[in-house]
């Protein structure tokens, strides 16, 4: 996704999402997993 040179801010604006969400998507983090429980789930 980011290989095209788009910044997280540009991606967030394009898809109307927050930059934190764009960052999670770009880094491959599971956006459906709760941050509070991610330590307990593997």
Q: What is the pLDDT of residue 12?
A: 86
pLDDT score recorded for residue 28: 79
| Among candidate residues 42, 21, 23, the one with its CA nearest the CA of residue 32 | 21
Res 37: pLDDT: 54
**Predicted TM-score of the model (pTM):** 0.41
- Assigned domain for 37 exists: no
Q: Which residues constitute the domain of residue 22?
A: 1-28
Instruction: Compute the CA torsion angle 30, 36, 40, 41 (nearest 10 deg).
Output: -20
For the chain, what is the largest distance between any 2 Cα atoms, rounded to a whole number of angstroms? 35
Residue 39 lies in a domain: no
| pLDDT at res. 10 | 87
36/1 Cα distance (integer angstroms) = 27
> The tokens of 9 are what?
């801010």
User: Which regions in the chain score pLDDT beneath 70?
Assistant: 1-5, 29-42
CA 42 to chain centre: 19
Q: What pLDDT sits at residue 35? A: 57
Structural domain contains residue 5: yes
Examine residue 7 and state whether it is found in any structural domain, yes or no: yes
Q: How many domains does the chain have?
A: 1
Residue 14 lies in a domain: yes
Q: Is residue 19 part of a domain?
A: yes
């Amino acid at each position: 996704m980011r290989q095209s040179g788009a910044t997280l801010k540009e991606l967030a604006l394009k898809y109307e999402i927050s930059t934190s969400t764009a960052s999670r998507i770009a880094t491959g983090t599971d956006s459906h997993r709760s941050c509070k429980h991610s330590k307990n789930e593997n």
